[in-house]
Structure 1
Amino acid sequence: MSVAPESGGAPERLRLMAVHAHPDDESSKGAATTARYAAEGVDVLVVSCTGGERGDVLNPSFGPGPTSLEGMRELRRSEMARAREALGVQQQWLGFVDSGLPEGDPLPPLPEGCFGLQPLEVAARPLVELVRAFRPHVMTTYDPSGGYPHPDHVMCHKVAFEAFQKAGEPSCYAGTGAPWEVFKLYYNHDFSLTRMRTIHEAMEGQGLVSPFGDWIESRAAREIPERPVTTRVEVSAYFPQRDAALVAHASQIDPDGFFFAVPRDLEADVWPWEEYELAESRVPTTLPEDDLFAGVRDVLGTTTTEGERA
C-alpha cells in the first residue's frame, strides 16, 4: 500500500480512497473516476466493507452459483481481483460479512454478526486504521440514505463519515496509527434522476429503447429528493475501463443487460461525467468543481498529478 513520503522527500502524490459496501459497487459507482485518476498518477484505494457473501447471482447467463457463504465469498473475491486490475487501482477488504437485502413486510431481522448490525465504533475502527495508513487526501462514499436502502450501504456511509471525522483526532481510536486528517469527503451520485432522464430522452430521440423509463416513473412517484451536485468529473475516455470492471463481476452483471443498454457514443455525448456531492471540505474550494482534488492541489503546491492531467 502506498503512503505519503517523509517531509523533504519527493513531491507528495495525491491519494484517493473510495469506500464501498460490496464488491461490484466500485465498478458501478464512480468507476471511471477512479480509473481516470489512477491513470493520471493518483494513488487510488478502493475499500470493500463486506465480501458480498449474501449477494445473489444476478446474471442469468452465469449459471448456478455457490451455495455457501464461503463459496460466494471466494467467487466475489476472484471477481473483485479482475475488476481491480481493469480499473488500475489498489483494493482492500474491511472483512465484514454482507448483511443481505431484507425483503418482506414486515422486514425480517438482519443475520447475526453481519455488517449492518455492527456497533459503529467496531465497524469504523478498521477503516480508521486504513485511513491512517493510506493517508488519503480525498474520500468518496454514499450519501446518508446509502444511495438506496440496503443496510450495508447505509452502514458504509456511517463508517466512512465516522472515519473522515475521527481519523485526524489523536484521542480517537487508539492503537490504529498516527492521526491523519482527510481534506475532502464526497458522496457518489451515479444514479441521479437528472442523469437517467437526460439519457432516456436522448435515446428516445434517436428511436432507441431506453432502460430508464420505468425507473424514472417509479422514482418520480416516490418523490425521492434529488441531492445537490457540486462536482462533475469528465470521464468518457475511461468508460472502457469502467465497463471492463463491470464485466469482471460476472455473477452480478449481465453483459447484455441494463448497464450496457446505453450506446457508449451517445452516453459520451450527453453525459460524459460522473457526479459528486461535496459533503465536507477542509480546504478552500469554489463550486461547482470539475476535479475531486480542487483546492487540495493548491494546499499541496501541485497543479498536476504525477501523471499528466487529461
Structure 2
Amino acid sequence: MCVHAHPDDESSKGAATMARYSREGIEVLVVTCTGGERGDVLNPKMDRPEVQADLPRIRNEEMARAREILGVEQHWLGFVDSGLPDGWLPGSDIPLPEDAFYLVPTEKAAAPLVEIMRSYRPHVVTTYDEEGGYPHPDHVKCHEVSIEAFGAAGDPDRYPDRGEAWQPLKLYYGHSFGKARIEAMHYALLEAGLESPYGAWLDGDWARDKSERVTTRVECAEYFPVRDAALKAHATQVDPEGFWFAVPGEIQQRAWPTEDYELVDSHVPSTLPEDDLFAGLR
C-alpha cells in the first residue's frame, strides 16, 4: 500500500518500484488522499480556462490512466485538496480553505485509511516523512494520517467500527530527491556532454538532506519507462518536454538505478541495508 496526497504523486514518487512489484505478481494499492482539486495546471499546453474549470474530473481521468499503466489498484480517500498558499509552512498563520484536508482532525482523517488497511491487509506501507517530503499541507497531513493508521490498524480497541484489526508489517518513507542522487545525475549528464538542470539545486541549501536515512534501495531501472509513461498520463501536471524528462532515460538508469526508502517501523526482523521492501517477508 502506497499512501499519497494527490493524483500524480504516485507517478513521481516510487512509481518504478510499484511497477516492478506489480509485474512480479505482488498486489499494489495506491491510496490517494485528495482529488487534487486546488492544483494548478502546470503543463503550458493544457493551461486553458476550460481545463481549469473542469480540473477535478480531468485529474480523476488522469489518475485512471496512470494506475492502468502502473498496473496497480487505487482508492480515493475522499478529502479535498488544501492548495498551497504562497509562503505556507507548518505552523504558519497563513489560512487554508475551511474544507482543506490539512485541517481535518487527524483521527477523523485516518479513520477511512484504517478501514482500507484492515480490508486490503497490506504487508508493506509506504508514505512520506515527517516533513511530507516537501512542505505542502496535504503531504504533511498524508504523513500524519499514515502514521496514525499504521499504528492503529492492528489494535482492535482503536477504530472498532472500521473492521477487523490487521497489522501491516513494515512502514517506509520514500526519499526520492537526496543530494547523492542529484549529484550522480548531474555528473553523469556532464560526462555525457549534456547540460544538467541540477546545477542550481546543488548550489542550494542541503541542510535538510536525508540521504543518510536511506535504508533500502530497490533496483527498478527497468521500469523507469513505465514510471515516465504514468507521469505523462497526468497531462495537466507535467510538461512532457519539461524538467521531469530533462535527463535521458539511459543516463538515469545507469547513474541511479534504484528508488530509495527509509524503514521506520517493522514487525519482522530485517537486516539493513535492504534491497527489497519485502525483505524479511518473502
TM-score normalised to the size of structure 1? 0.87
The answer for the alignment partner of 2:220 in structure 1 is 235
Runs of 4+ with >6 A deviation: none
Residues 1:104 and 1:279: Cα distance change in structure 2 (over 3 Å): closer
Q: Does 1:288 align with 2:277?
A: no
Separation in structure 2 between the aligned mates of residue 103 and residue 174 of structure 1, nearest angstrom: 40
In the alignment of these two chains, the number of paired residues is 277
Question: C-alpha deviations, 1:103-135, integer Å up to 9, x for none?
Answer: 148763010011000000110000000000000
Once the two structures are superposed, the pairs formed by residues 1-310 of structure 1 within 5 Å of their partners are 17-65=1-49, 66-68=51-53, 71-104=54-87, 108-220=94-206, 223-227=207-211, 228-297=213-282
Q: What secondary structure sits across from 1:219 in the alignment?
A: coil
Q: 1:216, CA displacement in angstroms? A: 2.2
Deviation digits for residues 228-272 of structure 1 (CA, Å, limit 9, x no counterpart): 110000001111110110000000001001111111111111101
Give unpaired runs (5+ residues) of structure 2.
Answer: none
Q: What is the CA distance between 1:174 and its match in structure 2?
A: 1.7
What whole-Å deviation, never above 9, does each CA across 1:73-103 have from its counterpart, x for those lacking one?
1111000000001100000000000000111
CA distance in 2, matches of 1:232, 1:275: 5
RMSD of the alignment, in Å? 1.2
Q: Name the CA distance, whole Å, in 2 between partners of 1:88 and 1:132.
A: 22
Percent identity over the alignment? Answer: 60
Q: What does the per-residue CA deviation read over 1:174-230, in whole Å, with 9 as the maximum and x for residues that have no partner?
A: 21100000000000011111111111111112221111111222233xx22425110
When residues 271 and 60 of structure 1 are mapped into structure 2, their CA distance, relative to the original with a 3 A threshold, is: same
- TM-superposed deviation, 1:61: 1.6
**TM-score (ref. length: structure 2):** 0.95
Rounded to whole Å, the distance in 1 between the matches of 2:205 and 2:267 is 34
Distance in structure 2 (CA, Å) of the matches to 1:219 and 1:72 = 34
Gaps of 5+ in 1: 1-16, 298-310
Do 2:40 and 2:237's aligned partners in 1 also have CA atoms closer than 8 Å?
yes
